[in-house]
Amino acid sequence: MNKSKKAVQSKEQGTSEGAKLPYKVFIEQAILKLRKKPYKGIHVVYSNFNKAFRQYYDDLDPKPIVQQLVDEGFLVCRVVKGGAVIYLSSDMEESEKNPTTASVQLWQKF
Element at 68 (helix H, strand E): helix 62-72
Distance CA 49, CA 24 (A): 14
The pLDDT of residue 8 is 35
Could you list the mean pLDDT of each consecutive 10-residue stretch along the chain, which spans 110 residues?
Answer: 39 56 95 92 94 95 94 92 91 63 41
The pLDDT of residue 101 is 46
Q: Structure pTM?
A: 0.69
Q: Residue 91 carries which DSSP code?
A: G
Q: Let me know the angle formed at the C-alpha of 53 by 25 and 69, rounded to the nearest 5 degrees.
A: 50
Q: Let me know the angle formed at the C-alpha of 53 by 52 and 57, rounded to the nearest 5 degrees.
A: 120
The pLDDT of residue 34 is 93
Which domains does the chain possess? 20-109 (1.10.10)
